[in-house]
Amino acid sequence: MFDTLYAQIGAIVMIAVGVFAFVKGDEPERIGAGAYLFAWFASLLVQGDGRLYDVQWGMFAIDIIMLLVFGGLVWKSRRSWPVWACALQLLAVMSHIMIMVDLRTPVASFYTVLNIASYGIVLSIAIGTFWAWQERRAAGLE
């Protein structure tokens, strides 16, 4: 879980973006960051480290739920960052489906896609929070 420097840096970045979204973001950013942090903690609990080559159904369910959350934000929010987050989450879900269909993809590429999509989602939440904060400052609300 947190046994490598890479995992520790990723955790620090994820928590920092979540705190930034809760402090400076509007409602869509708070919902997105809160749901993503919750899903991140839940995925730490359900992932099977010993089952690298099997379908991890718990992770798949969490990714589907996150896809629905980001899809709801795309539908109800007038911001552009949820579109990017939803697209990257769809990429993660499709990676799970590719493993389920057994297309003989290397497992390393599966985990690489999930990690890059995760960092992209965190980046889109951070950018969306920054722009929401700047819009409030420009309007004189902060």
- CB contact set of 123 (below 8 Å; sequence gap of 6+): none
Low-confidence ranges of the chain (pLDDT < 70): 1-2, 49-53
Give the 3-state secondary structure of residue 32. Answer: helix
Q: Residue 73, by phi and psi: left (phi above 0), alpha (psi -120 to 50) or beta?
A: alpha
CA dist 125 and 32 (Å) reads 7
Is the distance from CB of 72 to CB of 81 less than 8 angstroms? no
- The residue among 117, 110, 119, 115 whose CA lies nearest residue 51 is 110
CA dist 62 and 93 (Å) reads 10
Helix 57-76 to helix 27-46 angle (10° resolution) is 180
On the CB side of 72, CA atoms within 13 Å amount to 12
pLDDT given for residue 48 in this prediction:
73
